[in-house]
Amino acid sequence: MRSLEYGDEEVGAKEIMFAVPSMVIGIGILFLPRSLANETNFYDGAVSLLIGGFLAVFFTWVNAKLASKFPGKPLFSFVPLLVPKPVVFVLKMILTVHAMILAAYEVRMIAEIAKQYLFDQTPVEVLSVLFLLVVVYAVSGSRVGILRLNILFLPIIYCVALAISFMNIAYFDYHNLFPVLTTDWNGYVAGIKQSFFSMQGFAILLFYIALMNKPKEAPKAAVKGMGMVILLYLVLFTTCIGVFSNDSTSTMVFPTIELAKEIQVPGGFFERFESLFFTIWIMAIFNTAAMSLDMTVISLRSMFKKLKKKNAIIIISPMVYLICMYPQSFIEIMGFGKIISYSGVLVAIILPSILLIIAKIRRIGES
């Protein structure tokens, strides 16, 4: 195949590698240390995190392998080759609803956190609609443009996240990490579930690998991308436990943001470092929300062939806003997130695994 030209509507392995962490790293990383600290003792959450990460890497490979078997074919072009049409329609409905509620969840959470840390006098309704409008603007343009935007944003996000860990070294107490391996099996299993749920999002591979000019490189690139996620999660979790201890981390709503609040910059250059951190973190949530909304558009248009992209966005956007404003309390929002996590198991694990097995048995697709 010819080499990638940036004027073309296609991407390379780098875009896919960056797309995975850009989709996965969002709201979940802000409270994952708390979730792990609630289920495990001391630093034992790292064990659950690594096992959950291994599972995420495996199913990332499954999704990438499935999509790469059908070069240049979008998800809903090759699925009819594997299963009957009625099943295809149900699959389209499931993916449309899942992607839509995921986009709504990201929009609502960004509004809630922005109100708490940045705009305490601005109503959540206003913050939600403003953020949604920015996401809609991004999705209205080139699909490849969204993927390339990840390459611009992700290094900034990683630099700020790692800077937070580095700048908290003075407060780090390694005694908070010990003793290790004191958690019972139920705690480890619960921690693995929490870790794995926070690493979902690799279903985007089913949608975007079709844009690759060298799809055979997709599985390797996707696995590398998920490895970047595991490394960042592990660094931030280690820092939270070392700085706050397991008991304190388990009581914080957003331990990662609390890390940023601990930072004292000499000379008063930044009086509230968490505001800078959250401003940068909006990039991560924007990436997740944009790709979720784009997947919704793709799924909806696959059901209605004559529906134009602009019209699909006009139909979907108000629905996303209404869904994101439905929860009336933070507890309901978190419950909303759990529903998305469980639906993600169906969308990103069960369905791709079944489809890949069918493709292998029936020898459909390129090897």
pLDDT digits (tens, 9 = 90+) for 80-100: 888 898 889 999 999 999 999
For residue 130, the model assigns a pLDDT of 93
Q: What average pLDDT does range 330-339 have in this prediction?
A: 85
- Cα of 365 vs its chain's centroid, Å: 28
| 291 vs 72, higher pLDDT | 291
- The answer, yes or no, to whether residue 10 has pLDDT greater than 70, is yes
Distance CA 301, CA 30 (A): 33
Mean pLDDT of 35-50: 93
Report the share of the chain in percent with pLDDT over 70.
94
Across the range 169-184, mean pLDDT stands at 88
Percent of the chain with pLDDT over 90: 49
- Residue for token digits 């996000």? 157
Contact between 83 and 358 (Cβ < 8 Å): yes
What CA–CA distance (Å, rounded) separates 231 from 265?
26
Cα 215 to chain center, whole Å? 22
Res. 330: pLDDT tops 90 = no
Domains of the chain and any CATH numbers: 13-350 (1.20.1740.10)
Q: What per-residue confidence (pLDDT) applies to 7?
A: 52
Sequence letter at residue 177: L
Residue 141: pLDDT band with limits 50, 70, 90: confident
Mean pLDDT across the stretch 111-119?
83
In the predicted model, what is the mean pLDDT of residues 122-143? 92
The confidence score (pLDDT) of residue 1 equals 44
321, 132 Cβ separation under 8 angstroms: yes
Kindly report, residue by residue over 48-61, the tens digit of the pLDDT. Answer: 999 999 999 999 99
CA–CA distance, 349 with 353 (Å, rounded to integer): 6
pLDDT at residue 232 is higher than 90:
yes
Q: Is 333 a residue whose pLDDT tops 60?
A: yes
How confident is the model at residue 271, as a pLDDT?
57
Q: Determine the pLDDT at residue 8.
A: 60
| Chain mean pLDDT for the chain | 88
Q: What confidence score (pLDDT) does residue 337 get?
A: 85
pLDDT-wise least confident of 161-175, 232-246, 267-281, 295-309: 267-281
What pLDDT does residue 328 have? Answer: 83
Give the pLDDT score at 59. 95
Of the candidates 197, 224, 217, the residue with the CA atom closest to the CA atom of residue 340: 197
